[in-house]
Chain A
């Protein structure tokens, strides 16, 4: 396999249809180690679909997705072991409501990475501290604010030691006053060197933290550029129109 070592995810001619509707019409992209790739686009343009194809929550209709050099769309590949290395954060948090925060954080490392209870909890606590929520370990999700839930959800993914983190509009379900605390965690994560793919409407985040920004339109990548160029000198007319609406 002639994949450069620092390319974590390589997307080749990715197509995805739901029934007769072709949502993705051929996407090519490369995500390198420590990249923070921000994905923007109009509602319904297929941003979530693209992101969810990266860990095969949606199975592509055509094309290949190479994760660390392995084509994970190959049916003979065990997707579960690869998903352990791909953390995902959802718009709706999707914390397990019947488990405490600590159980939410330790169940996957214990069952999948076979960590002992002590090891898993130590890891969980050190990450909770990093997001300032170590005093909430025994709380249930229903007792937390939206911002706390999303920070916990980020920690839950981090507890698996992923190589890349996928975020699908992580702040869209939050009250405005809680957006900042979640973006701060993501920012810190980016600075620590985590590779991230982030679907978001937070253009400030894209500009400040992104290493490159992707605009999806008409089922394709209509523009891809570093944030400076993306925001200050957009080429695609649809992107110009889009930016004039959101900025």
Chain B
């Protein structure tokens, strides 16, 4: 037993401490978190906008069609653009999207991390949009009417009345999407970004030892996901309290 511990300690030292290789993991982790964090923000913004456009169109196309005014055509075009965006993003693998962005669209942007943030943000936005749309549709129509009857315009009613209730309803699903996103960023290595996964893989290559670096990487992802899950539960509990 002590022998095993001795060997473990030595291996650990050779793999992580020597040449400060643990710092690669720290840098990688930092990149992973940075990409995820900003991608989540972009995803939420895109998600709110697309979901609002799509549910506005679905709810009002009948009444707007009759009036045939400019708003109807603008909304129709925006809705069509949204549908194309959703189809393309959800119909292709995120790695391919990332590579297209890096090698074709943003060849002049030197910082791969920025490209990754944009790619993952745009990708996540499609999934968040569908989550939000479901949430908006499930807020009782009477809430919307109450808002309008007080004199709020469409956008104000969305912002003050509908979206806060929608956020609360979709919170668990939204956190689930973030958890998926954290793990999806592990393909960032494909475009030469040193994220957590890439860092572990580099250490594996240098030390010719796969077990420790890869298990370490897996454990770190696991901890991040568990923390996110914990945060979600706490937030849900706080919001529930405000309901009673």
Contacts and interface: CB of A to CB of B under 8 A. Distances in A.
B146 interface: yes
A55 B152 CA distance: 13
A90 B146 contact: yes
A204 interface: no
Contact of A98 (B145, B146, B152, B164): B164
Contact of A112 (B142, B150, B161): B150
Contact of B145 (A84, A90, A143): A90
Contacts of B152: 80, 108, 111-112
A75 B69 contact: yes
Majority SS at the chain B contact face: helix
Nearest to B62: A19
Contacts of A75: 67, 69
A108 B160 CA distance: 9
Contacts of A90: 142, 145-146
Contacts of A86: 149
A37 to B, nearest CB: 18
Interface in A94-138: 94-98, 107-108, 111-112
Interface in B206-231: none
Interface in B190-244: 242-244
A92 interface: yes
A31 interface: no
A142 interface: yes
A36 interface: no
A129 B64 CA distance: 43
A97 B150 contact: no
Contacts of A98: 164-165, 168, 242-243
Range, interface on chain B:
20 to 34
A186 interface: no
Most chain B C-beta atoms within 10 Å of own C-beta, residue among A83, A87, A160: A83
B63 A59 contact: yes
B148 interface: yes
Contacts of B161: 96
A88 B243 CA distance: 24
A198 interface: no
B145 A108 contact: no
B244 A142 contact: yes
A244 interface: no
Interface of B: 63, 67, 69, 140, 142-143, 145-146, 148-153, 156, 160-161, 164-165, 168, 242-244
19 contacts: A57-B145, A57-B148, A75-B67, A83-B148, A84-B150, A86-B149, A90-B142, A92-B142, A94-B143, A94-B146, A97-B165, A98-B164, A98-B243, A108-B151, A111-B156, A140-B244, A143-B244, A156-B150, A160-B151
